């Protein structure tokens, strides 16, 4: 760094003097020395404005728990599906298997990675795209990635393939599997260069058997058929014998997933509104990628309200690390005083936070309610999470309007709530974003 200026003794002396003159700094330091940061900086008087009452409040089941896994996007999806199952079967509550969807998601991601190794065989080590691919396979995903799995493999009740110690705590075994993937990438790149893609793909198919075996050991073997057994609210016994996972989804969930589209709010200069986008090398099945429609936040919010008003919850992606924690159950910039306490103003326009890596999608949940002010505008949102009932308000959270505008990036909406122009924009040829674009971050 040419002409860089180092820290001097004079600077430090000046800073010390300024700190000693600041009486509040000493009080803050004493408070923080014995209490967790989030507890000291929480402002209950500001949080009191986020009351747990809503103009629209949809009835939903008790929350689920993804535990130590990154399956939030799958849990948010299953939280939508299970309500349909319970309704159709007259059950108090239904639960679907996260292990089943995670198995097929991971197996498809392995194939996606190995195909990427063949597709990028000409890229040299150090290339940014190759470096991105070498992150390997992760737990995360997008709505479109969920639909690609469900359309291909269906879903099953949790009793048919329960969670286990590996599906709920994934970090250690995926570090090992990603090391194996990188080793196989080296071999596939060499085969592609020396013998061509056909030879490399024949070898890839052999490799897939190793991963299938490993996944069966870790998560259990996914059923090809099963008996669906349940009791309804009247304690009446039911059994549907020999049903496949695809038949189960069609019969007991019954949603046409092609009716739903992903809408994002990314006000960055590279993403004009009312256009469709996709992300290169983002997906699980090679048959289907991801696609978004970018809309201004004002339009996105009104679409969410319309779908809630029609009685249908909304899947969404956000930055859950900003202005909230699991203990309070509130996401709200005004309810946390950390910036004032430390004298650090972190206010940035949404586009700058995205462009300069200060915020990105890292969690998917379900919007189940909204409160509307006297002008019919939303001022807080009810959110169903997947962190268990010990977090938030028995597992539910409240997002203030200020937090929602700044840190919600994606919703999934039924096409019937979009205009013809918006549908046409979504269905147009998408602009291809780079693999590391923040709109794909939820999959990492």
Asked if 20 is an active-site residue, the reply is: no
Q: What is d(CA 103, CA 100) in angstroms, rounded to the nearest whole number?
A: 5
Helix count and strand count (H, E) for the chain: 16, 13
Catalytic residue among 79, 265, 325, 385: 385
Residue 318: phi and psi, rounded to 5, are -150, 180
Exactly one of 65, 79, 325, 363 is catalytic; name it.
363
For residue 381, the cross-strand partners are 370, 399
- Unique residue bearing structure tokens 């996260």: 98
Annotated catalytic residue 72: yes
Q: What are phi and psi of 96, to 5 degrees?
A: -110, 165
- Residues in the chain, total: 444
Q: Does residue 357 carry a catalytic annotation?
A: no
Name beta bridge partners: 441.
none
- Gap between the Cα atoms of 355 and 268, Å rounded: 7
Contacts of 80 by beta carbon, 8 Å cutoff, 6+ apart:
255, 313, 315, 366
d(C-alpha 355, C-alpha 438), whole Å: 8
Distance CA 440, CA 264 (A): 11
User: Which is catalytic among the residues 72, 79, 111, 362?
Assistant: 72
What's the CA gap between 361 and 354, in Å, rounded? 10
Active site residues: 72, 363, 385
């Amino acid at each position: 760094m040419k002409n860089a200026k180092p820290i001097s003794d004079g600077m430090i002396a000046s800073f010390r003097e300024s700190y000693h003159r600041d009486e509040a700094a000493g009080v803050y330091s004493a408070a923080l020395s014995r209490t967790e940061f989030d507890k000291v900086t929480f402002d209950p008087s500001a949080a009191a404005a986020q009351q747990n009452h809503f103009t629209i409040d949809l009835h939903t089941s008790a929350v689920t728990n993804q535990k130590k896994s990154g399956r939030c996007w799958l849990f948010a999806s299953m939280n939508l599906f299970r309500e349909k199952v319970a309704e159709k079967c007259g059950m108090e509550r239904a639960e679907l298997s996260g292990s089943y969807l995670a198995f097929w998601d991971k197996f498809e991601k392995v194939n996606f990675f190995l195909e990427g190794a063949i597709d990028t065989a000409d890229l040299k080590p150090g290339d940014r795209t190759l470096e991105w691919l070498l992150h390997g396979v992760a737990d995360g995903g997008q709505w479109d990635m969920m639909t690609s799995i469900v359309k291909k493999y269906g879903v099953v009740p949790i009793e048919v393939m329960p969670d286990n110690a590996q599906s709920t705590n994934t970090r250690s075994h995926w570090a090992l599997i990603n090391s194996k993937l990188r080793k196989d990438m080296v071999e596939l790149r060499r085969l592609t260069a020396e013998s061509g893609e056909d030879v490399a793909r024949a070898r890839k198919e052999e490799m897939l058997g190793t991963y299938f075996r490993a996944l069966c050991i870790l998560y259990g073997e996914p059923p090809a058929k099963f008996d669906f057994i349940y009791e309804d609210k009247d304690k009446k016994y039911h059994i549907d014998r020999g049903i496949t996972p695809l038949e189960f989804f069609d019969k007991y969930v019954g949603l046409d997933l092609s009716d739903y589209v992903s809408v994002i709010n990314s006000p960055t200069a590279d993403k004009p509104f009312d256009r469709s986008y996709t992300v290169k090398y983002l997906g699980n099945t090679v048959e289907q990628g991801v696609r978004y429609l970018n809309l201004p936040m004002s339009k996105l919010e009104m679409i969410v309200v319309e779908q809630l008003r029609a009685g249908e919850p909304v899947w969404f992606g956000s930055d859950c690390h900003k202005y909230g924690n699991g203990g309070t159950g509130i996401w709200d910039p005004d309810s946390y005083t950390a910036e004032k306490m430390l004298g650090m103003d972190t206010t940035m326009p949404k586009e700058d936070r995205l462009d300069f890596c200060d915020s990105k999608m890292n969690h998917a949940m379900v919007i189940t309610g909204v409160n509307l002010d006297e002008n019919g505008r939303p001022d807080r949102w009810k959110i169903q999470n997947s962190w268990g009932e010990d977090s938030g308000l028995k597992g539910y959270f409240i997002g203030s309007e200020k937090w929602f505008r700044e840190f919600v990036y994606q919703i999934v909406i039924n096409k019937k709530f979009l205009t013809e122009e918006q549908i046409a924009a979504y269905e147009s040829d998408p602009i291809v974003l780079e693999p590391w674009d923040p709109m794909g971050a939820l999959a990492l």
